[in-house]
Amino acid sequence: MKFDLFNVKRNDIMMISKDIKTENTLTNESGHIMGDKETEKRFLLRLSNRLYERLAAEATEKDKSVNAYIVGLLEAAVTNTNFEHRQFIGQVVSGKEIYIESGLVSVSGIYYRYLIDDNSKVDKQAKYTVIEANGNILTLRKIKE
């Protein structure tokens, strides 16, 4: 028997919704219950078909609904709010760009103070990746070859 939503009466839908068990509730990464009208704001989000298809494909790869995937992306974007974090995390820096005497590193033409994550000496021949940004201090990690 094929389910036909247009032939379902309002009372039938209400009866179905009362039968749904609440023990299988979904929670997002923040821990709040998804679908809880008291803790969530609902609004219409218009997306192009192309963008929706792309998001749907990525959500499927991560075994999430499109809504949960978008919420996760937005939560991640909101937590990384400072300029340095958005611009420099993961960027590769040559050891030649680290100036030991002044304690500065040049990243995209801007000078920052730096820390090496394992407190080792700077290897001018090595490459480093930015793993953390806190104000004007970048934490660097040597890339092992």
Reduced to 3 states, what is the DSSP secondary structure of residue 127? strand
In the block, which residue shows the tokens 């806190």? 134
Regarding the domain delimited by 84-142, which CATH topology (the fold level of the hierarchy) does it fall under?
A: OB fold (Dihydrolipoamide Acetyltransferase, E2P) (2.40.50)
Q: Give tens-digit pLDDT for 25-52.
A: 555 555 656 666 777 888 898 989 999 9
Q: Give tens-digit pLDDT for 79-104.
A: 655 666 667 788 899 999 999 999 99
What is the amino acid identity at position 45? L
Q: Give tens-digit pLDDT for 115-127.
A: 999 999 999 999 9
Give burial (CB, 10 Å; 0-12/13-18/19+) of 83: exposed
Query: Residue ranges of the domains in the chain?
Result: 25-79, 84-142
Q: How far apart are CA 30 and CA 46, in angstroms?
A: 24
Name the E strands within the chain: 92-94, 98-99, 104-107, 110-116, 127-134, 137-142
